[in-house]
Amino acid sequence: MTTGLPLLSARDVKVHLRVHGRIVKAVDGVDLDVHPGQCVGIVGESGSGKSTLGRAMTRLLPNVEIAELSGSVRFGGEDVLAMAPETLRALRRHRGLSMVFQDPLSYLNPTLRIDRQLGEALRHLADRQAIREKSAELLRQVGLDDTARVLRLYPHQLSGGMRQRVLIAMALAPEPQILVADEPTTALDATVQYQVIQTLRRLNKERGLAMLIITHDLGMVAELCDQVYVMHGGKIVEAADVFALFDAPQNAYTASLLAAARRLHQTKALGSAAP
Amino acid sequence: MGSMLRHIAGHLAQALLLLIGVVVAIFCLLQLIPGDPVQAMVGDMPVPPALRAALEQRFHLNEPFLSRLYGYLVNILHGDLGYSMNYRRPVFDILAERFPRTLLLAGVGYAFGILIGIAIGIHSAVTPHRSVDRAWSSLVLIGYAMPTFWVGQLLVIVFSIQLGWLPTQGMGPMISRASGIDWLLERATYLVLPVATYTILETTRVARFMRASVSETLEQGYIVTARQKGLSRHEIIMGHVVRNSILPVITVMGYSFGTAMGGAVLLETVFSYPGVGSLMVEAVRARDTQVIVGVVILVACSVVFMNIVVDLLYAWFDPRIRVSSAQS
Amino acid sequence: MPAEPGAVLPVPSNRFRTAAPFDLLRRLFRTRFGGIGLVILVAISLLSIFAPWFASSGPADIGSPSLQPPSWQHPFGTDSLGRDVRSVLLFAGRSSLTIGFCAAAMAFLIGGTIGALAGYFRGAFAAVLLRITDLFHTLPAIIIVLFTVSLMGASFWLQVAAVALAIWPIEARIVYGQFITLSEREFVLAARATGLSTPHIIFKEILPNALPTVIVQVALDASTAILIEAGLGFLGLSDPAVPSWGEMLNRGQEFLELAWWMSVFPGMAICVAVLGFNMFADGVTEMFNPRASATAPKLEG
């Protein structure tokens, strides 16, 4: 699994932001590898810098003032962080460096139909017919089989889980080798969470799509991931194979995270029927 | 489509109620004027007894409140807005003659202003150069602060008086021998300055709103999604930013049409333009109540109408209004 | 949770914080225009209050030769009555600014009360109030003012009332909106749950949080009031006993060709005052809503 060259490789990535006049070291020297077909999880509590890391790696940082952005993120033989904008755009269109976020509603344009939004990601195809067929295929890949109907809908007419799957479909348009997901299920209901997690699992296991899952949900990590990085205060404090991590965490912080998660799980199980 | 029609019908009904409300309110206020109602209607001139009797009969002045109100409403529906002693013509006729002129001026200026304002707003919010944004914002702010009629005065001072390029006032020359295209051009020169003033007025309002709206749109998640798809800057702006940012501006358009109508009052005075605005001022000076009321009702109608148009426009742009959400 | 070394601080959602006044001032000056706006407002207020000290002659002195262009002696020229324009400007400023402030205050009282009532009690009562608000909102300001003036005359206070009548709907809408959004917020629900009395909730919980929005709106209303009053004066329908900027422009209209300075300087004065209010309002908005002004996000790559 971890043989061969990594698909996505981050070295000494630093993201320092300027917030209200002070420097905040959101990401402070992170090394990370994702190999082809591997599913890597980054876990940590809110404020650990994991989202910022993910967005820095895909060059989709939000509109905050950046004091420093350094390090390298090698993808397909090139450093994403150092790329010129046109090269980056071409990369996105043809090889894909997509990210799926937490709240699907705001990530879809409310005034455009789904077919139009999916079509935007497929402009490299020859003609309208091809685009339509490919759009339908993408929707089927994420488990939305009633493609003709879904394509004609507006985002507000879909449920939360469907929206998230549409976004995943959009991310799959350029036939990427890796998909980054930032808290993909946090905003969804439990049953819908299950559907989305299963979709991701299928994409990883059956299609060999590498994944970088950023989350605070250790349960999801246990289900999906092969390799786990634990982040705290902008740094990686532990990196291990998923089984090793859960069985024998090396770091005190990791241990406390796991303990807390177990307690929460037990409380939930006692309080209601287990999902 | 059905929900859209229901939506429109709902707004029409509301608009109608609003208009009736305005008319009733005006009527009630008029009853509050102290003194002789006939005198108030006639204005500053003495009232001969025969005329008094005729007016009392026509407007049911000796009958109880509600039947007077009813009579008033019925009259209006028939297009009878009273008779102006000042101009010696039915109010309706005066309005019919002058309103198209105001509409021409205000309408064209309003339309230009919106288009230019949208363009400036987008450019201002999207440009990566902060100095450009500041420059536009400063210009817009200053433009917004200038009283509209003062802008008109300035334009007249610069272009008519100092440079002599354009005429200072009126709708057309006293005597004109031009015909055909020349006539049109000649007329047009009289309209340039007033229309330019309206345009500036409207542009500043719209640009401000648009910039704020675009700034907010740019923060939205779907812009990030668009970036991920590898869309170019131009494609993102055209495909996602414009459509979504326009919505708040559309809601403002109805109200700012009212402002344009209000501006007509002042601007037509500056340019001595014989429209409904200058009519209002003349009527106030002459205490010609019938005309004043007529103008108020007319303006209320046009603003309400514009609001309906704006509502339709909004529904067209925002599918969340048109299409009810269906959970699957 | 206390800020960790790696934490990215979010923009706080409960925007009103009891901060020291100097801190607020500093933040205002860091916005694009807010500081400039405040400086302008203070300056024109001082100039108006101390007008007699700054003016070279009284408002009614007609001793100088009339229609003189700007010169050392008369920096803004003289008008048709032989008055020093600069001096008249200062005195006229007093009435224009007073009308502006007073009308805005009145509009806030009327509109704010109506908006608050509608926002707190809701239901059919609120619906009726809102309809009335819409009624007034539909008509353009000048029309309302002219209508009122034609019915009741134009003494100073009637002018103020007429202008207030034109702008209260905006205030009502804003206050109503604030009450609606804030009533749903957690801290109000918590206050209700613990049984705090209604007036307490309104004054101690909702109002302080609505304050920034209200301040902004009042400042904007004041600037609108000044513009409306100027229009009224320009049309020659304001109180003739009281000099105002609008009235100066009315005189200037006749002399556009001969004495441009009679029109240009009063207009500039109005401009500066309105700018001051608007910049201040923009600054306060930015203080509590930083995203509205930050550098444009990158769209390429």
Complex ipTM, two decimals? 0.86
Q: Average pLDDT in the C217-240 region?
A: 88
End-to-end CA distance of chain B: 20
Q: What are the pLDDT digits (tens) for B142-161?
A: 888 888 888 888 888 888 77
Can you tell me the distance from the alpha carbon of B249 to that of B206, in angstroms, rounded to the nearest whole number? 7
Chains that touch C (3 or more CB pairs under 8 A): A, B
Please list, in sequence order, all residues whose beta carbon lies within 8 angstroms of the beta carbon of residue B169, skipping any fewer than 6 positions away.
Answer: B156, B270, B271, B272, B273
Out of A62-71, A149-158, B95-104, B270-279, pick the least confident: A62-71
Please list, in sequence order, all residues whose beta carbon lies within 8 angstroms of the beta carbon of residue C271, skipping any fewer than 6 positions away.
Answer: B142, B145, B146, B147, B150
Phi and psi at B219, nearest 5°, equal: -85, -10
Query: DSSP letters along C185-247, please?
Result: SHHHHHHHHTT--HHHIIIIIIHHHHHHHHHHHHHHHHHHHHHHHHHHHHTT-S-TTS--HHH
Average pLDDT for chain C? 79
Which residues from chain C sit within 8 angstroms of residue B161, using beta carbons?
Answer: 256-257, 260
For residue B174, pLDDT over 70 is answered with no
> In the prediction, which pLDDT does C276 show?
92
Can you tell me the distance from the alpha carbon of B59 to that of B81, in angstroms, rounded to the nearest whole number? 11
* B313–chain A Cβ distance below 8 A for any pair: no
Note whether A45 and A216 are within 8 A (CB). Answer: yes
Chains that touch A (3 or more CB pairs under 8 A): B, C
For residue B117, pLDDT over 70 is answered with yes
Continuous segment of H or E residues that includes residue A240: strand A235-241
Q: How close, in Å, is residue B291 to chain A by CA atoms?
A: 46
Phi and psi at A214, nearest 5°, equal: -105, 120
User: Which residue from B192, B305, B187, B206 is spatially nearest to B253, judged by alpha carbons?
Assistant: B206
> In the prediction, which pLDDT does C11 show?
37
Average pLDDT for chain B? 80
Can you tell me the distance from the alpha carbon of A214 to that of A232, in angstroms, rounded to the nearest whole number? 13
Longest dimension (CA), chain B: 83
Can you tell me the distance from the alpha carbon of B115 to that of B113, in angstroms, rounded to the nearest whole number? 6
> In the prediction, which pLDDT does C293 show?
44
Residues A47, C8: C-beta atoms closer than 8 Å: yes
Best probe of the C interface among B39, B153, B158, by most C CBs < 10 A, is B153
Note whether A6 and A231 are within 8 A (CB). Answer: no
Half-sphere exposure of B271 (CA within 13 A, CB side): 37
Please list, in sequence order, all residues whose beta carbon lies within 8 angstroms of the beta carbon of residue B248, skipping any fewer than 6 positions away.
Answer: B209, B212, B213
Phi and psi at B134, nearest 5°, equal: -60, -40
- Please state the separation of Cα B284 from the chain's center in Å: 20
- Number of A to B CB contacts under 8 A, please give it: 79
Residues C146, B168: C-beta atoms closer than 8 Å: no
Note whether A180 and A100 are within 8 A (CB). Answer: yes
Residues C141, B259: C-beta atoms closer than 8 Å: yes
Which residues from chain B sit within 8 angstroms of residue A174, using beta carbons?
Answer: 230
Find the Cα–Cα–Cα–Cα dihedral B93, B94, B96, B98, rounded to 10°.
Answer: 160
> In the prediction, which pLDDT does A169 show?
92
Q: Find the CB nearest A98 among B218, B228, B231.
A: B228
How sure is the predictor about A12, in pLDDT bands with cuts at 50, 70 and 90?
very high
> In the prediction, which pLDDT does A4 show?
76
> In the prediction, which pLDDT does C50 show?
85
* Percent of chain C with pLDDT strictly greater than 90: 10
Chains that touch B (3 or more CB pairs under 8 A): A, C
Note whether B283 and B155 are within 8 A (CB). Answer: no
> In the prediction, which pLDDT does A1 show?
46
Query: DSSP letters along B129-167, please?
Result: -HHHHHHHHHHHHHHHHS-HHHHHHHHIIIIIIIS--S-
3 state SS for B46-60: CCCHHHHHHHHHHCC
More confident residue, C219 or B65: C219
